Structure 1
Amino acid sequence: MSRTTTARILAAALSAVLIGAAAGCTAVQSRPTTHPAVSTAGWPTAQVYHTGRTSPTLTVPAGARSLHIDFSCTYGLYSVGPSADMDRREGTCGGAQSFDFDIHSIAAGTRLIVDLVVPDGTRLAATMNFSTAPFAPDRATAKQCATLATVQEAYWNADQGHDHGDVSDAQWTERTAAAKADIERLANAAEKHPASAGLLGTVLPSIAGWLTGAGDHPGGVLHAPLGDFTAAETLAGQICTANGTAMVIHSSYGG
Structure 2
Amino acid sequence: MELDDAYANAPYIPEADSYPPRWAEKARAMRGKLGAANRARLGLMYGHGTRNASDLFLPLRRPEGLLIFVHGGYWLRFDREDWSHLAEGALQNRWAVAMPSYDLCPRVRIADITRQIADAVTVAAREVPDVPIRLAGHSAGGHLVARMLAPDMLPEDVAARIARVMPISPLSDLEPLLRTSMNADLGLDAETARSESPRHQPKPGVPVTIWVGAEERPVFLDQARWLAEAWDAELVEEDGKHHFDVVEGLETPDSRMLQALLDL
TM-score interval for Structure 1 and Structure 2 normalised by the shorter chain: under 0.3
Larger of the two Rg values belongs to structure: 1
TM-score for the superposition, normalised by structure 2:
0.21
TM-score for the superposition, normalised by structure 1:
0.21
Structure with greater proportional helix content: 2
